[in-house]
């Protein structure tokens, strides 16, 4: 039975480039938006990865892996959220 990855990394790509990446969610410049506006899905562990992005309509790929190369399971969730002014 595989274990969950303890230190995941996220990458978001469009057809030509890496748009964003994160491995320790609280280090992201927009982490405060997650904790202040969407506290329920905010990660409990600072080693988890999370991004708050505004994306144009289109196709995107999310890559989830282990930052240290360990094998395991990574659960990814994507939310379509609107922030009220």
- pLDDT score at 42: 87
- pLDDT score at 47: 92
Residues 13 and 24 sit within 8 Å (Cβ to Cβ) = no
- pLDDT score at 61: 96
Q: Could you tell me the residue ranges of all domains in the chain?
A: 8-66
Tokens of 42: 């905010």
- pLDDT score at 60: 95
Sequence-ordered list of residues with C-beta below 8 angstroms from that of 1, at least 6 positions apart, any chain: none
- pLDDT score at 16: 92
Averaged over successive runs of 10 residues, the pLDDT of the chain (85 residues) comes to: 88 95 91 88 90 92 92 90 67
């Amino acid at each position: 039975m595989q274990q969950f990855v303890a230190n995941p990394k996220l990458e978001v790509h469009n057809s030509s480039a890496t748009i964003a990446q994160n491995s320790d969610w609280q280090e992201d410049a927009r982490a405060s938006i997650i904790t202040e506006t969407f506290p329920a899905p905010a990660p409990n562990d600072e080693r988890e990865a999370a991004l708050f992005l505004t994306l144009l309509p289109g196709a995107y790929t999310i890559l989830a892996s282990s930052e240290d190369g360990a094998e395991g399971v990574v659960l990814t969730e994507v939310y379509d959220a609107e922030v009220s002014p």
